[in-house]
Amino acid sequence: MEKFVKFDGLVAPLDRNNVDTDAIIPKQFLKSIKRSGFGPNAFDEWRYLDHGEPGMDHAKRPLNPDFVLNQERYKGASILLTRSNFGCGSSREHAPWALLDYGFKVILAESYADIFFNNCFKNGLLPIVLPKAEIDALFVLTEQTPGFKLTVDLERQQVVRPDGHVIGFEVDPFRKECLLNGWDDIGLTLRHADEIRAFEARRKLQQPWLFA
């Protein structure tokens, strides 16, 4: 997993409450268990005018001009600004995979569904909870300012606006340590690789019949 320390990114506003995981990545795209390749289908039903299915040539699909992420000014956005209860619905891990593959590194919202929130951290996506007043102000600034960017400093737990205004945020210390070091569940396990090998070697000596 890529380390997350400090990040500057273009902000895209998704001004909706209760965005569920089926909207983030529709169910027909859940056949693969690879973590990559889901970006073109993120928000598929809102993003395109036709019905999406696996294997389609997305370059030939008609885009929905009314969907905010299709606007030219938000191309290349890596910070998603949204509202409350983001990631509700089913507990599919494909949702953070799709957002990451699209290019998002950070989500700013008033609240999240618990399972989605946990899955984000496990996959290197930083979901930040901010007060409604700060979210409202960011929506205004994003819509009024083409190319609006923010700096997210995980080590200091700060979101910094271009005008210097600093917004602090809370994050679980263990999750913070994992993101700063790029440790997913596999990475955490591999930190104990020497102990695991030593245990396996002892077990072979003590219980050789298990390895016959």
Is residue 129 packed enough to be buried (19+ CB in 10 Å), middle (13-18) or exposed (0-12)? middle
pLDDT: is 201 or 23 the higher one?
A: 23
Give the number of other CB atoms < 10 A from CB of residue 139.
18
- The domain locations on the chain are 6-181
Is residue 108 within 8 Å of 82, Cβ to Cβ? yes
Is residue 46 packed enough to be buried (19+ CB in 10 Å), middle (13-18) or exposed (0-12)? middle
Percent of the chain with pLDDT over 70: 99
Q: Does domain 6-181 have CATH number 3.20.19.10?
A: yes
d(CA 134, CA 127): 15
- Minimal CA–CA distance to 111: which of 170, 65, 173, 159? 170
pLDDT: is 207 or 156 the higher one?
A: 156
pLDDT at residue 196 is higher than 80:
no
pLDDT of residue 68: 97
Is residue 20 within 8 Å of 94, Cβ to Cβ? no
Q: How many whole angstroms from its chain centre is CA 41?
A: 15
pLDDT at residue 159 is higher than 90:
yes
pLDDT at residue 188 is higher than 90:
no
* Strand boundaries in the chain, DSSP class E: 6-13, 79-81, 106-109, 126-129, 149-153, 158-160, 166-168
